[in-house]
């Protein structure tokens, strides 16, 4: 049985459907990326696994260790968040409490979820600060978030996420605001810590090189739907869906420098009135007449490689 299994998840805000019947699974120790343009539904999908979205109406099933998160009572949901599934948010300056010392924020999870006393929780926080590479942790323990650089704040977020030894970490574009050198350091740190602890990852990003560096599996999202899934090497080196191919062609590749990048024409679909059939067909250079009439479903095209496209029907 998978550690996390999402079945036919739909997320609605009022009359707007922002995630439409998404299904995927995550095994213990596995690292899964959700990729796509802005407003593709990847962040909403990830945050829905912990029911972190206010005013959202969710349907389907989200099974963690066989238990449906959508049916959990508040007490069970509180124990799940941070203890079993942790989150690293995109912008640590807004995610961290600006008036609470950094060490206390790292120690908060062990005190609440693991029952540590103040001294033991502080010891745990200091150990995590050392593990994530924060220099002089004894002094920085009493610092506030604004006294840290962006990269160091993200290291604090990683320490908080690891503080209760969760089974899954949700990463919502955790390196977006960082320069490429710091981004590489954070990704290497995160990948190394996950290997050591065996924790599973759901990594939300629009950056394909990040996917190749960190993850084993990938799900490509467009217009709130999953359109291609499979092993990272298969999907990125042999993309089947025209949208995935467009993402690959529009991403810089420093190992194989091209004269110019190839942008995807047009704009993502409106979620208020999405196009019928395949939501990518208005932008697709290979669209068939059926693409505007019938929604394609995910079908197997190789070992574990699925694509939702009428070209492969």
- Least Cα distance to 107 among 92, 124, 95, 93 occurs for 124
pTM for this model (two decimals): 0.93
In a domain, 109, yes or no: yes
In a domain, 186, yes or no: no
- Least Cα distance to 156 among 109, 201, 113 occurs for 109
* Tokens coding 305: 């490689």
Structural contact between residues 225 and 20, judged by C-beta atoms closer than 8 angstroms: yes
Structural contact between residues 239 and 248, judged by C-beta atoms closer than 8 angstroms: yes
In a domain, 285, yes or no: no
Residue 272 is predicted with a pLDDT of 85
Residue 92 is predicted with a pLDDT of 81
Residue 270 is predicted with a pLDDT of 87
In a domain, 98, yes or no: yes
Beta strands in the chain (DSSP E): 4-13, 16-26, 31-35, 57-64, 67-68, 85-88, 168-172, 200-205, 217-222, 225-231, 299-300, 306-307
| Low-confidence residues in the chain, pLDDT < 50 | none
> Which residue shows structure tokens 């650089």?
149
CA dihedral 157, 18, 234, 33 (to 10 degrees): 10
Residue-number span of the structural domain to which 121 is assigned: 85-165
Q: Which helix (H) or strand (E) holds 123?
A: helix 118-131
In a domain, 120, yes or no: yes
In a domain, 135, yes or no: yes
Residue 273 is predicted with a pLDDT of 87
In a domain, 127, yes or no: yes
In a domain, 51, yes or no: no
What are the pLDDT digits (tens) for 189-231? 998 988 899 999 999 998 888 898 899 999 999 999 999 999 9
Structural contact between residues 205 and 221, judged by C-beta atoms closer than 8 angstroms: no
Taking the CA of residue 223 as centre, how many other CA atoms within 13 Å lie in the half-sphere pointing to its CB? 21
Residue 257 is predicted with a pLDDT of 57
Residue 303 is predicted with a pLDDT of 85
Domain count, the chain: 1
């Amino acid at each position: 049985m998978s550690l996390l299994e999402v079945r036919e998840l739909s997320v609605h805000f009022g009359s707007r459907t922002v995630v439409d019947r998404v299904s995927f699974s995550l095994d213990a120790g596995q690292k899964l990326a959700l990729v796509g343009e802005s407003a593709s539904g990847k962040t909403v999908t990830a945050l829905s696994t912990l029911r972190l979205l206010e005013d959202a109406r969710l349907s389907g099933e989200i099974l963690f260790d066989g238990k449906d998160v959508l049916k959990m009572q508040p007490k069970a949901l509180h124990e799940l968040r941070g203890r079993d599934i942790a989150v690293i948010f995109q912008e640590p300056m807004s995610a961290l409490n600006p008036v609470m010392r950094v060490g206390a924020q790292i120690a908060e999870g062990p005190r609440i979820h693991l029952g540590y006393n103040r001294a033991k929780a502080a010891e745990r926080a200091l150990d995590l600060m050392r593990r994530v590479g924060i220099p002089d942790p004894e002094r920085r323990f009493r610092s506030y978030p604004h006294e840290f650089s962006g990269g160091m704040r993200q290291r604090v977020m990683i320490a908080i996420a690891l503080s209760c030894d969760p089974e899954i970490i949700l990463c919502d574009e955790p390196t977006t605001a960082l320069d490429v050198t710091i981004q590489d350091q954070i990704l290497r740190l995160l990948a190394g810590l996950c290997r050591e602890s065996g924790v599973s990852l759901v990594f939300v990003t629009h950056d394909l090189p990040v996917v190749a560096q960190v993850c084993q599996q990938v799900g490509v999202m467009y217009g709130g739907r999953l359109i291609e899934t499979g092993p990272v090497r298969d999907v990125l080196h042999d993309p089947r869906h025209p949208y995935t191919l467009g993402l690959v062609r529009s991403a810089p590749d420093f190992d194989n420098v091209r004269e110019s990048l190839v942008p995807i024409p047009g704009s993502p679909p409106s979620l208020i009135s999405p196009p019928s059939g395949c939501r990518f067909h208005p932008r697709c250079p290979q669209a068939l007449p059926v693409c505007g009439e019938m929604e394609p479903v995910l079908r197997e095209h190789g070992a574990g490689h699925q694509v939702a496209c009428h070209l492969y029907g």
